[in-house]
Amino acid sequence: MAEKLREDFAPPQADVEAAALAMEAFARSHSSDGRRVVLITSGGTKVPLESRTVRFLDNFSSGRRGAASAEYFLRAGYAVIFLHRHRSMYPYSRRYSAINWLDALRLLPATAPGQGEPRVEAEQRHLPGIVQVLQDYHSMRESGRLLPIEFNTLSDYLHLLLAAARALNPLGSSAMFYLAAAVSDFYIPASEMPEHKIQSSSGPLQITMKMVPKMLSPLVKDWAPKAFVISFKLETNPQILIERAHKALDTYRHQVVVANILDTLRTCVVIVTSNDEANLSITNEEDRSGVEIEEKIIEDLTLRHKHFIEQSDSN
């Protein structure tokens, strides 16, 4: 697969070697402290249509699911590798991704007239919950339990996922893969991609894209066969959601699919395994008081992971 990635995809923009070393050291150190480690993938992927890229194919994913989940995994004691799309939502700061920071900041005069720069102060009314968020953020920083790794293109994502799997494989069943990223299913092979900007003067554009190989297959079979693997399934038609989730479990033989529908993805999901389906949802009251569906997803999955480790140990 590593060979195929090199042949079919443009070289990654990310520094994969440096990221691989950082992930290996992170996984080794947390595992020797007895901690479980989760790799979260988050955000959409960008697929270039030209080598000197002007245009690309993208998708809607904001990265909120992955960023919120990272916070709850950290709260549950996990060490988290957060493999996320550049500029998609980030743990903790995600809560303020829609604010205009310039409205939240005020300029104050220097402490003494004529001395130093004016000071800058944040107005809490523009930053709901900021005290708690800052406390959580700083305690997470001090604990060293979050390793953020960025990707930009589909090629970056695929190479980094392989590197992450190699880093986590030695941890066996105490490693978890939480694949929430919305990865493109289509790409143009590097050898077939036009070098320069596609000219609109040539008329309507027709492109043929190849299927991206599903990384779940080698991940489960070869890269980290003892790990606890969770994939996601997004559909727009509720009628086919559960059937598609079971099909994924039958095909890839991993442990869990988190199934969600585009219209309701912030308020309900179904946790699907080969022998049960658990509906998780947020009531209107919970929604009003700020409860997030990711809190319930992580509570459920960390329990399943614990049972999975116990079972693996007893075999």
Give least dist CB 214 to ligand PMT, A.
4
Indicate which single residue of 28, 75, 86, 214 sits in contact with ligand PMT (rule: CB under 6 A): 214
Give least dist CB 291 to ligand PMT, A.
16
Give least dist CB 29 to ligand PMT, A.
26
Give least dist CB 179 to ligand PMT, A.
4
User: Which pairs from 193-197 meet CB under 8 Å and 24+ separation?
Assistant: 193/10, 193/48, 193/49, 193/50, 193/51, 194/49, 194/50, 194/51, 195/50, 195/51, 195/52, 196/50, 196/51, 196/52, 197/50, 197/52, 197/54, 197/55
Between residues 31 and 293, which has the closer beta carbon with respect to ligand PMT?
293
Is 270 a binder of ligand PMT (CB under 6 A)?
no
Give least dist CB 144 to ligand PMT, A.
26
What is the chain's percent helix, strand, coil content, to nearest 5? Answer: 45, 20, 35
Q: Is the dihedral of CA 123, 125, 126, 130 positive or negative?
A: positive
Indicate which single residue of 31, 61, 152, 174 sits in contact with ligand PMT (rule: CB under 6 A): 61
- Give me the helix-helix angle, 64-75 and 130-143, nearest 10°: 70
Q: Are 252 and 244 in contact (CB under 8 A)?
A: no
Q: Which stretch binds ligand PMT (CB under 6 A): 74-82, 110-118, 142-150, 228-236?
A: 228-236
User: What's the CA gap between 218 and 162, in Å, rounded?
Assistant: 9
Identify the helix (H) or strand (E) that includes residue 146.
strand 146-151
Is 151 a binder of ligand PMT (CB under 6 A)?
no
Task: Give, as one character, the DSSP assignment of residue 193.
Answer: S
Give least dist CB 306 to ligand PMT, A.
22
Q: Which stretch binds ligand PMT (CB under 6 A): 20-28, 72-80, 181-189, 300-308?
A: 181-189
Residue 183 half-sphere exposure toward CB, CA atoms < 13 A: 24
Is 165 a binder of ligand PMT (CB under 6 A)?
no
Letters for 29-48 (x = contact with ligand PMT by CB under 6 A, - = none) are ------------x-------
Is 181 a binder of ligand PMT (CB under 6 A)?
yes
CB atoms closer than 10 angstroms to residue 111: 9
Between residues 75 and 214, which has the closer beta carbon with respect to ligand PMT?
214
Is 182 a binder of ligand PMT (CB under 6 A)?
yes
Q: How many residues bind ligand PMT (CB under 6 A)?
A: 22
Q: Are 280 and 293 in contact (CB under 8 A)?
A: yes
User: What's the CA gap between 50 and 153, in Å, rounded?
Assistant: 13
Q: Which stretch binds ligand PMT (CB under 6 A): 8-16, 58-66, 201-209, 299-307?
A: 58-66
Q: What does the binding site for ligand PMT look like in residue numbers (CB under 6 A)?
A: 41, 61-65, 179-183, 185, 212, 214-216, 231-234, 260, 265
